[in-house]
């Protein structure tokens, strides 16, 4: 064993003075490989100081990091107190780095090591929980880099909050395993009193059958859980890739095994705010799931840290294009037809919120927008576009608390914080659509400089809508009218860009297109109506549409400058002088076909775009055609389609 040399300019032992009882590093403290150091009192790495352990450091008390911890290449930090029941890791730097970490408390009343809220614990190699648990408090996270199994009989404990109602559900994924796999019975605990009982939560209870509801915790006057919350097993499912549709759901119960990285569904307990505690061996390393193109799989973040969705998508780019997150929208019934919620989408362009009722939970026009970093415990769906395997790895792991604007656990609709991954290199335009029932859909356009995206279909940048309602707004890409896109990514911004929008309306009433928000974008956003030849500025005011029910796939466009009405239709324009179109003052519209051009069809629209009349050309064979028109006074648009092109005329009756 090497001798330990500690210089007073490096370490200040306040334990030399009875009033303090702690050890403070004020300079640079390095433990060499092969050297063992024992600290009996609390150790603080002070602001501006550097801690570098490549040997063996034994801590009998707390570790406070207010400075820098070097990323080591060897060594072990032991929390092995024989006098304290709990040791803690904290500090203003909000992170620290170890090579190996071992918890081995020998006090007869030992509990373990707690890591303070919003703290990142980085371990390059292995976590060994020999005796005592490792408690990640609140938003604390464990990030590991080496693909090595963790060991020990101790457990890691980590909180996560789920949907509160007994009707709404989340998709979950466990950050721990119990015996190589995860079981709810033995792995999921009631965190209602986590602030009081960090290391000793009560096992979640389970019931089944009618009325199919979970139950809230029973607590005493001090807030301690007496009877744990209850989960109803009727709503526990996984979803496997070998089938599609509802046949893909696999019923599970509290003792079924769930592999790390697989997701599962679970409804709430009815508590106003239900906190759960996952307890087990922390997951670490690679997890892989074979899949064929066209199959669907419910997966989830397998780690006790956030993961980078962009890195996950990039690592699996040959197999998948986007990620889908379920967001509850205020469901108040177990009936499938009554579910309120939808799938938020995230891809390399950005995230788009689902279609949920405006104002759910007091939020604004758009909510549930997924961010770049996927939270601990978050489950999600993927659709495979090719045969291969979906892989999770430690390179995808990051320290991102949900208090950050770009990380959240999606469970219910939340107020959106306008933020993106990298505002210096991309711009985002969020367009909203509200149907007569109040459901609000958001579609997202991203300008992605330095990307391979263009105005055609771009895998990874354009995302399909997986849960279209009967009323929807969407992007139409490459004139493929069979697909509804909720996200479209293109390269650099072009002021002349014209992006086709599809609009499907199944019910009468007010349909509204609006601008939900922009990020790193200052240009005006318009919606162009190709029938009315009008450009509406949605940066200033919402566009209200009151059209007959139907499907409009070639009428509206998202544009960034007013469109020249003479070339607005996007098809060959005919010389308007071929026809003389006017209202004759006697409840008729006259189409004077003075050049005997073959008329294919005539359509007449009112000022808000409703189609009033549609006449086939075989009824308009005369040189001068008189069309009865007994409608309210106002402005109307007459579109004449002929074998020489189209012409549009505005009339006032």
Give me the CATH number covering residue 608. 2.60.40.10
Same domain, 348 and 408: yes
Say if strands 249-251 and 306-308 run parallel, antiparallel, or are unpaired: unpaired
- In a domain, residue 439? The reply is no
Q: What pLDDT, in 10s, does the model give residues 127-137?
A: 999 999 999 99
241: tokens are: 């890739």
* Residue 356: predicted pLDDT: 84
- Which residues of the chain, if any, have pLDDT below 70? 1-21, 242-245, 358-367, 404-424, 564-575, 608-609, 618-619, 621
- In a domain, residue 333? The reply is yes
Q: What is the dihedral of CA 507, 512, 518, 521, to 10 degrees?
A: 120
User: Count of residues for the chain?
Assistant: 653
Which residue, 370, 394, 421, sits at the end of a domain? Answer: 421
- In a domain, residue 440? The reply is no
Same domain, 265 and 129: no
* Residue 244: predicted pLDDT: 62
* Residue 15: predicted pLDDT: 37
* Residue 16: predicted pLDDT: 34
Which residue, 421, 449, 481, sits at the end of a domain? Answer: 421
Q: Is 475:453 a contact under the CB 8 Å cutoff? A: no
**Residue 573 and residue 530: Cα distance in Å, rounded?**
12
Q: What pLDDT, in 10s, does the model give residues 370-403?
A: 889 999 999 999 999 999 999 999 999 999 998 7
Q: How many domains does the chain have?
A: 4
Range of the domain at 357: 162-421
* Residue 646: predicted pLDDT: 79
Same domain, 144 and 123: yes
Q: Which residues pair with 112 in a beta bridge?
A: 86, 133
- In a domain, residue 3? The reply is no
Q: Is 411:329 a contact under the CB 8 Å cutoff? A: no
- In a domain, residue 86? The reply is yes
DSSP 115-159: E-TT-EEEESS-EEEEESEEEE-TT-EEEE-S----BSS--EEEE
Q: Is 296:384 a contact under the CB 8 Å cutoff? A: yes
Secondary structure of residue 232 in the 3-state scheme: strand
* Residue 414: predicted pLDDT: 40
Same domain, 372 and 475: no
């Amino acid at each position: 064993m090497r001798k330990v040399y500690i210089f007073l300019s490096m370490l200040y032992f306040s334990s030399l003075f009875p009033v303090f009882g702690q050890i403070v590093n004020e300079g640079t403290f390095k433990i060499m490989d092969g050297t063992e150091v024992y600290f009996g009192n609390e150790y603080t790495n002070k602001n501006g100081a550097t801690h570098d352990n490549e040997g063996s450091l034994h801590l009998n008390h707390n570790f406070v990091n207010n400075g820098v911890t070097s990323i080591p290449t060897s060594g072990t930090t032991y929390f092995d107190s024989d006098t304290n029941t709990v040791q803690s890791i904290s500090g203003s730097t909000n992170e620290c780095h170890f090579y190996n970490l071992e918890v081995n408390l020998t006090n007869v009343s030992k509990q373990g090591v707690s890591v303070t809220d919003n703290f990142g614990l980085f371990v390059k190699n292995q976590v060994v929980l020999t005796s005592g648990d490792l408690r990640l408090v609140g938003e604390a996270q464990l990030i590991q880099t080496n693909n090595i199994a963790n060991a020990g009989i101790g457990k890691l404990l980590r909180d996560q909050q789920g949907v509160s109602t007994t009707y709404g559900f989340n998709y979950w994924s466990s950050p721990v395993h119990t015996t190589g796999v995860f079981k709810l019975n033995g792995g999921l605990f009631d965190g209602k009193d986590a602030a009081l009982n960090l290391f000793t939560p009560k096992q979640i209870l389970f019931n089944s059958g009618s009325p199919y509801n979970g139950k809230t915790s029973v607590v005493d006057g001090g807030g301690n859980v007496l009877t744990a919350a209850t989960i109803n097993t009727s709503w526990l499912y996984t979803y496997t890739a070998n089938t599609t549709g509802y046949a893909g759901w696999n019923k599970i119960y509290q003792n079924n095994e769930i592999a790390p990285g697989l997701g599962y569904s679970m409804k709430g307990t009815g508590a106003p705010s239900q906190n759960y505690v996952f307890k087990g061996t922390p997951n670490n390393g690679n997890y892989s799931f074979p899949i064929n193109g066209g199959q669907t799989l419910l997966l989830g973040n397998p780690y006790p840290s956030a993961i980078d969705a962009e890195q996950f998508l990039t690592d699996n780019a040959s197999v998948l294009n986007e990620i889908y997150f379920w967001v509850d929208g205020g469901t108040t019934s177990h009936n499938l037809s009554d579910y309120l919620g939808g799938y938020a989408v995230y891809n390399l362009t950005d995230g788009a919120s689902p279609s949920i009722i405006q104002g759910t939970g007091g939020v604004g026009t758009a909510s549930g927008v997924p961010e770049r970093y996927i939270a601990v415990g978050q489950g999600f769906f993927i659709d495979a576009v090719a045969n291969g395997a979906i892989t999770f790895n430690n390179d995808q792991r990051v320290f991102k608390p949900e208090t950050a604007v770009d990380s959240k656990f999606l469970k219910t609709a939340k107020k959106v914080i306008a933020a993106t991954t990298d505002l210096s290199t991309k711009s985002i335009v969020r367009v909203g659509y509200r149907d007569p029932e109040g459901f609000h859909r958001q579609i997202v356009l991203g300008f992605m400089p330095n990307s391979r995206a263009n105005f055609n279909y771009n895998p990874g940048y354009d995302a399909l809508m997986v849960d279209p309602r009967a009323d929807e707004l969407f992007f139409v890409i490459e004139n493929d009218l069979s697909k509804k896109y909720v996200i479209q990514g293109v390269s650099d911004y072009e002021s002349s860009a014209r992006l086709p929008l599809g609009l499907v309306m199944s019910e009468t009433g007010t349909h509204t297109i609006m601008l939900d928000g922009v990020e790193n974008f200052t240009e005006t956003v318009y919606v162009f109506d190709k029938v009315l030849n009008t450009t509406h500025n949605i940066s200033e005011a919402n566009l209200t549409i009151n059209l007959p029910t139907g499907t409009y796939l070639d009428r509206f466009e998202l544009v960034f400058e007013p469109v020249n009405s003479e070339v607005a239709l996007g098809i060959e324009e005919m010389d308007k002088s071929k026809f003389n179109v006017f209202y004759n003052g006697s409840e008729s519209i006259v189409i004077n076909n003075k050049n005997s051009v073959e008329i294919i069809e005539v359509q007449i629209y009112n000022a808000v775009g409703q189609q009033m009349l549609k006449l086939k050309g075989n009824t308009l064979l005369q040189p001068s055609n008189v069309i009865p028109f007994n409608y309210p006074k106002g402005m109307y648009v007459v579109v004449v389609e002929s074998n020489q092109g189209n012409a549009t005329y505005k009339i006032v009756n």
